[in-house]
């Protein structure tokens, strides 16, 4: 029964190429597993959490000191969240470098961009909930960046925070978004995203783009296959065009591997959670900003840009990035280089993308490690600890 459920989500047979770990690194699946871990630990945390400025922080302390396994569960949730942002980003890089966003997978790429933004939204809204200094000031900085948008910026910020500053209203909103709205959106999009992977013919692989789409007249369905009509899909599907030797049954080849990957992810998250505690700073204090106040790490590249120009860094660059990502598969219509890492035919696209990624990495690293008080330049190994207040 389990296997039939799993086989309804996945084709009965998959291409051998899709199983190669060095092709996909399982990044999409890892993201999905992390999302599941986040859902489970998140529900456990909800049993104890109270979204109130006067209680939230105390509840964090109680999780740490008196709730059985409270600390481990919170650690798992925190580390999974960071990991998920990272794996989603890496997953996008993988899809780009293998040209996997090309037809017929354009729409799934767009869904992926939506999932990426939802993931950032989930992480960002969750960031506020512990109501410590880290949370308060990261959200203050993050929403300030949103406030730089022209015309709608201040309204947008007001809408997010339910006021002009981070307070009880903001906490209530972020909580509702974090535990209901965004997980529901993410869940639905994940479902469609995963379904489309199958609908679009499984993982991209070399050679498939050169196949012409073969339409199979309904009356001529092969009879030697054990699967039915739902296997018929637009474009290239596992059963079309390839030597049958390239295909293996999903059970056990695919599903065993998925199970192993799940265990690896759980083990890794547990390992982090048992040995490293999630950060919890002092109680949020609106009159004592840490210097520097930093956004969550995935926004530090933006914050670094904002330090040069609020308008360019806070508005133009992120808007351009999102728009470029969305239109990418519709602009880049070349059919070559799909299913291969760093394909020669895609030199130009890969170079442009790599420069953007490198810039993002450099900006993020600079924002994370090389910025000290007043966003001044510091060398990390000689950095003074952040000060809590001036004299």
**Closer residue to other proteins in complex, CB, 50/267:** 267
The residue within the footprint of other proteins, chosen from 66, 218, 229, 331 (CB under 8 A), is 66
Pattern 234-273, other proteins, x by CB under 8 A: --------------x---xx--x--xx--xx-xx--xx-x
How far CA 60 is from CA of 107, 273, 321, 333, 387, in Å, comes to 41, 15, 36, 50, 23
Report the chain's C-alpha Rg in angstroms. Answer: 23
Q: How far apart are CA 33 and CA 30, in angstroms?
A: 5
Q: Which candidate, 332, 322, 327, 95, places its Cα nearest to that of 193?
A: 95
**Helix or strand (DSSP H, E) at 13:** strand 13-15
Q: Does 389 bind other proteins (CB under 8 A)?
A: yes
Q: Does 376 bind other proteins (CB under 8 A)?
A: no
Roughly how many angstroms between the first and final C-alpha of the chain, as a whole number?
Answer: 67
**Closer residue to other proteins in complex, CB, 275/381:** 275
The residue within the footprint of other proteins, chosen from 213, 274, 319, 362 (CB under 8 A), is 274
**Closer residue to other proteins in complex, CB, 227/271:** 271
**Entry field: residues in the chain:** 391
The residue within the footprint of other proteins, chosen from 12, 81, 119, 132 (CB under 8 A), is 132
Which residue's entry shows tokens 């000689």? Answer: 382
Interacting positions 42-61 with other proteins (CB under 8 A): 54, 58, 61
Q: How far apart are CA 4 and CA 300, in angstroms?
A: 45
Interacting positions 142-201 with other proteins (CB under 8 A): none
**Closer residue to other proteins in complex, CB, 54/154:** 54
Sign for the CA dihedral angle at 28, 341, 323, 120 comes to: positive
Q: How far apart are CA 83 and CA 273, in angstroms?
A: 12
Q: How far apart are CA 119 and CA 317, in angstroms?
A: 19
**Closer residue to other proteins in complex, CB, 21/331:** 21
Q: Does 281 bind other proteins (CB under 8 A)?
A: yes
**Closer residue to other proteins in complex, CB, 86/283:** 283
Min separation Cβ 22 and other proteins, Å: 17
Q: Does 16 bind other proteins (CB under 8 A)?
A: no
Min separation Cβ 72 and other proteins, Å: 5
Q: Does 282 bind other proteins (CB under 8 A)?
A: yes
* Cβ pair 286, 132 in contact under 8 A: no
The residues with which 15 forms a beta bridge, in sequence order, are 247
Q: Does 320 bind other proteins (CB under 8 A)?
A: no
The residue within the footprint of other proteins, chosen from 177, 280, 300, 305 (CB under 8 A), is 280
**Closer residue to other proteins in complex, CB, 119/133:** 133
**Closer residue to other proteins in complex, CB, 145/280:** 280
Q: How far apart are CA 64 and CA 1, in angstroms?
A: 40
**Closer residue to other proteins in complex, CB, 66/379:** 66
Q: 377 by DSSP, 3-state: which?
A: strand
Residue 87, phi-psi category: left (phi > 0), alpha (psi -120 to 50), beta (remainder): alpha
The CA-CA-CA angle for residues 249, 251, 254, to 5°, reads 80
Which residue's entry shows tokens 């990418």? Answer: 328
Q: Does 19 bind other proteins (CB under 8 A)?
A: no
Which residues would be at the binding site for other proteins (CB under 8 A)?
Answer: 54, 58, 61-62, 64-66, 68-69, 71-72, 132-133, 248, 252-253, 256, 259-260, 263-264, 266-267, 270-271, 273-274, 280-282, 388-389, 391
């Amino acid at each position: 029964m389990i296997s039939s459920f799993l086989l309804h989500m996945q084709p009965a047979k998959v291409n051998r190429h899709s199983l190669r770990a060095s092709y996909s690194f399982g990044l999409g699946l890892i993201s999905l597993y992390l999302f599941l871990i986040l859902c489970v630990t998140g529900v456990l945390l909800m049993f104890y959490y109270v979204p109130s400025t006067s209680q939230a922080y105390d509840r964090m302390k109680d999780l740490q000191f008196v709730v059985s396994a409270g600390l481990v569960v919170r650690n798992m949730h925190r580390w999974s969240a960071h990991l998920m942002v990272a794996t989603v980003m890496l997953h996008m890089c993988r899809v780009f470098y293998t040209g996997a966003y090309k037809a017929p997978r354009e729409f799934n790429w767009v869904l992926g961009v939506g999932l990426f933004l939802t993931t950032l939204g989930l992480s960002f809204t969750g960031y506020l909930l512990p109501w410590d200094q880290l949370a308060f000031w990261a959200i203050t900085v993050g929403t300030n960046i949103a406030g730089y948008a022209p015309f709608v910026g201040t309204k947008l910020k007001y809408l997010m925070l339910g006021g002009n500053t981070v307070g009880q209203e903001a906490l209530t909103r972020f909580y509702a978004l974090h535990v209901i709205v965004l997980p529901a959106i993410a869940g639905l999009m994940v479902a469609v995203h995963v379904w489309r992977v199958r609908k679009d013919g499984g993982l991209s692989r070399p050679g498939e783009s050169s196949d012409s789409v073969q339409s199979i007249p309904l009356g001529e369905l092969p009879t030697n296959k054990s699967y039915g009509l739902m296997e018929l899909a637009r474009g290239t599907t596992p059963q079309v065009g390839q030597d049958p030797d390239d295909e293996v049954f999903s059970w056990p080849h695919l599903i065993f591997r998925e199970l192993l990957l799940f265990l690896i992810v759980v083990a890794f998250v547990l390992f982090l959670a048992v040995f490293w505690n999630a950060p919890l700073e002092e109680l949020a204090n609106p009159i004592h900003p840490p210097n520097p106040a930093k956004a969550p790490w995935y926004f530090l590249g933006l914050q670094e840009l904002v330090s040069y120009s609020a308008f360019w860094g806070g508005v133009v660059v992120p808007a351009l990035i999102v728009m470029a990502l969305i239109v990418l598969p519709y602009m880049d219509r070349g059919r070559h280089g799909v299913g291969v890492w760093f394909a020669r035919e895609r030199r130009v696209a890969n170079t442009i993308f790599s420069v953007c990624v490198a810039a993002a990495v450099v900006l993020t690293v600079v924002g994370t490690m090389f910025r000290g008080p007043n966003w001044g330049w510091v060398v990390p190994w000689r950095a003074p600890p952040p000060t809590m207040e001036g004299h």
